[in-house]
């Protein structure tokens, strides 16, 4: 376990983020392995069939991704406050909500799977393969939800490395099993979803065995079970809106995908490849956001409000630098990246992928800042504005799918995601500055001064000292600057 309430905030967040980043990369490898193996060993239509299921999967399973992150926030808060019995109760409550959510999502996916594909105008030529793939994916959805919840709880207790280790092992197994199913046994597209389910099951078992040995406080006693069942509303109040927010975003993606599907199999294949590559670029940015949830929740529970402000300011800068670097690399090596997925794609498909990637490349900065501030606000327990930002993303993606797609075709559709990122970034940034003022007010109520430079680390003079000038004398300011330089 790792406590994020003391030590240099940025260094802690980055150290916590590295395992998350690697884990995100390997989790991306699930879909990358499916796409690359299917595209190369079966056909471009098979690749398109996998892509056709992507938006509906995000609409429903994406709900679980957002929700499980939110369910772990009460765990992180109580851990930050040093309330171990409260941690156990929070784990019970979040686990029950996660189990109910898994049962609901599985039932919806299995019963309405084909209808969902028809809703997004999936081409008839892809329906059989896409439907079979999606049925297996939903049949194993509970395993995905179980792993996401276990990983979120372990991270809430400050350990981001262990879920990474198990995820790497299962990712490598996923590639081996997928290749064996398709390449050696000659099974179809649906078998790749089955391989992913097997790999996720291995991750779940590994997390449980590790937690039993190294984190016994994750396993509640009878008192924690009783208190946890009595407070189901606490994680549900935070987690379900976060899941709903992801589903709202998914609806916008579905509308956008509907416009893409209407352009035919070439467009579907192009969108599949582009979304996989965009997912790789988004991974480090999303990782910063996930790390911020744990950092903010722990520090809020410990009443370390100033550390939250410092962390957000500095991580926004880090996210911006990383976003522009990734965007440049994506723009520079677009055609080489496309070649990773298929050797059979038509020149039209390749040009479509290149157009979308080159548009999104230099809008990643908005996505990076949005991840940092939105997850910060959610870590503080505020869900209204992040949910509203989801509706804004819905409107912008839907507008791109219907209006821009109708007017400009693929070019208009390619602007759907960048416009959604920019709109959500603006709204979440406004929310953060509002919550930042509340944190400053809480600091003043505590009678907090500047804090110790040794604890906060170097490099925050520009933003944070200016915020406290009204309460510090000139002599105190000079003293703190000297301390900062000593730690630089």
Q: Give residue-wise pLDDT tens across range 320-368.
A: 999 999 888 888 887 777 776 655 667 778 888 888 888 888 889 999 9
Confidence of residue 432 (pLDDT cuts 50, 70, 90): very high
Point out the least confidently predicted range of 154-158, 254-258, 342-346, 452-456: 452-456
pLDDT for 440 beyond 70: yes
In percent, the amount of the chain with pLDDT more than 90 equals 15
Confidence of residue 463 (pLDDT cuts 50, 70, 90): very low
pLDDT for 208 beyond 70: yes
Enumerate the H helices of 222-363 as residue ranges.
Answer: 222-230, 233-261, 265-301, 305-332, 334-338, 347-360
pLDDT of the residue at 458? 32
Write the DSSP symbol of residue 462: I
Range picked from 87-91, 109-113, 186-190, 331-335 for highest mean pLDDT: 87-91
Mean per-residue pLDDT, 278-299: 85
**Cα(48)–Cα(38) distance, integer angstroms:** 9
pLDDT for 33 beyond 90: no
pLDDT of the residue at 32? 65
Q: At 444, list the tokens.
A: 């003043």
**Cα(55)–Cα(275) distance, integer angstroms:** 10
**Cα(78)–Cα(386) distance, integer angstroms:** 23
Confidence of residue 30 (pLDDT cuts 50, 70, 90): low
Q: What is the 3-state secondary structure (H, E, C) of 326-395?
A: HHHHHHHCHHHHHCCCCCCCCHHHHHHHHHHHHHHHHHHHHHHHHHHHHHHHHHCCCCHHHHHHHHHHHH
pLDDT of the residue at 312? 93
pLDDT of the residue at 452? 40
**Cα(266)–Cα(272) distance, integer angstroms:** 10
Task: Give the tens place of pLDDT for each residue, 228-273.
Answer: 899 898 888 888 888 877 777 667 666 777 778 778 777 887 887 7
pLDDT of the residue at 55? 65
pLDDT for 469 beyond 70: no
Confidence of residue 49 (pLDDT cuts 50, 70, 90): confident
Write the DSSP symbol of residue 158: T
CB 20 within 8 A of CB 294: no
**Cα(167)–Cα(196) distance, integer angstroms:** 12
Confidence of residue 318 (pLDDT cuts 50, 70, 90): very high
pLDDT of the residue at 485? 34
Write the DSSP symbol of residue 6: S
244 burial type by CB count under 10 A (0-12 exposed, 13-18 middle, 19+ buried): middle
- Gyration radius of the chain over CA positions: 23
pLDDT of the residue at 250? 65
pLDDT of the residue at 34? 65
Question: Which residues fall within 8 angstroms of residue 171, CB to CB, at 6 or more apart?
Answer: 26, 27, 29, 30, 33, 199
**Cα(290)–Cα(279) distance, integer angstroms:** 15
Q: SS3 for 188?
A: coil
Position of tokens 């892509």? Answer: 51
pLDDT of the residue at 464? 36
pLDDT of the residue at 445? 86
pLDDT of the residue at 338? 72
Point out the least confidently predicted range of 246-250, 385-389, 416-420, 450-454: 450-454
For 159, list phi and psi in degrees, rounded to 5.
-110, 100
Write the DSSP symbol of residue 126: H
Other Cβ atoms within 10 Å of 433 Cβ, number = 9
Q: At 240, list the tokens.
A: 């379900």
225 burial type by CB count under 10 A (0-12 exposed, 13-18 middle, 19+ buried): middle
CB 218 within 8 A of CB 158: no
pLDDT of the residue at 341? 62
For 8, list phi and psi in degrees, rounded to 5.
-60, 120
Mean per-residue pLDDT, 1-16: 81
Write the CA distances from 364 to 280, 282, 323, 419, integer angstroms: 12, 8, 5, 11
Mean per-residue pLDDT, 25-49: 72
């Amino acid at each position: 376990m790792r406590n994020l309430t003391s030590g240099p905030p940025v260094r802690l967040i980055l150290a916590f983020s590295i395992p998350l980043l690697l884990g995100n990369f390997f989790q991306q490898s699930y879909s990358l392995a499916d796409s690359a193996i299917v595209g190369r060993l079966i056909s471009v239509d098979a690749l398109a069939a996998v892509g056709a299921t992507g938006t509906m999967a995000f609409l429903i399973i994406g709900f679980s991704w957002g929700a499980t992150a939110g369910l772990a926030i009460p765990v992180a808060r109580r851990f930050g406050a040093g309330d171990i019995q409260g941690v156990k109760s929070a784990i019970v409550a979040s686990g029950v909500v996660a189990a109910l959510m898994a049962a609901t999502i599985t039932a919806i996916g299995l019963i309405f799977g084909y209808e969902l594909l028809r809703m997004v105008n999936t081409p008839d030529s892809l329906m059989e393969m896409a439907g079979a793939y999606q049925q297996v994916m939903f049949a194993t959805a509970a395993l995905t939800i179980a792993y996401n919840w276990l990983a979120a709880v372990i991270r809430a207790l400050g350990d981001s490395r262990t879920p990474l280790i198990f995820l790497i092992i299962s990712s490598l197994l996923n590639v081996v099993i997928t290749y064996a199913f398709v390449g050696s046994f000659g099974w179809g597209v649906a078998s790749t979803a089955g391989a992913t389910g097997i790999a996720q099951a291995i991750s779940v078992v590994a997390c449980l065995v590790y937690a039993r040995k190294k984190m016994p406080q994750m396993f509640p006693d009878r008192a924690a079970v009783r208190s946890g069942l009595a407070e189901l509303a606490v994680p549900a109040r935070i987690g379900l809106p976060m899941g709903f927010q992801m589903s709202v975003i998914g609806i916008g993606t579905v509308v956008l995908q509907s416009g893409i599907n209407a352009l035919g199999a070439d467009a579907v294949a192009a969108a599949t490849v582009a979304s996989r590559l965009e997912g790789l670029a988004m991974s480090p940015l999303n990782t910063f956001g996930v790390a911020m949830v744990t950092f903010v929740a722990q520090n809020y529970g410990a009443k370390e409000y100033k550390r939250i402000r410092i962390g957000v300011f500095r991580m926004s800068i880090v996210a911006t630098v990383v976003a522009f670097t990734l965007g440049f690399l994506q723009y520079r090596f677009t055609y080489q990246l496309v070649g990773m997925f298929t050797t059979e794609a038509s020149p039209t498909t390749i040009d479509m992928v290149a157009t979308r990637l080159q548009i999104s490349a230099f809008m990643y900065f908005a996505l990076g800042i949005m991840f940092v501030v939105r997850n910060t606000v959610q870590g503080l327990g505020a869900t209204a504005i992040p949910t509203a930002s989801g509706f804004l993303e819905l409107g912008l993606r839907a507008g791109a799918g219907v209006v821009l797609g109708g007017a400009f075709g693929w070019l208009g559709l390619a602007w759907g995601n960048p416009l959604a990122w920019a709109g959500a970034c603006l709204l979440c940034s406004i929310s953060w500055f509002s919550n930042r003022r509340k944190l400053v007010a809480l600091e003043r109520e505590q009678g907090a001064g500047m804090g110790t430079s040794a604890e906060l680390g170097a490099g925050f003079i520009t933003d944070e000292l200016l915020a406290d000038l009204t309460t510090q004398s000139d002599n105190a300011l000079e003293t703190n600057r000297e301390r900062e330089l000593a730690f630089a």
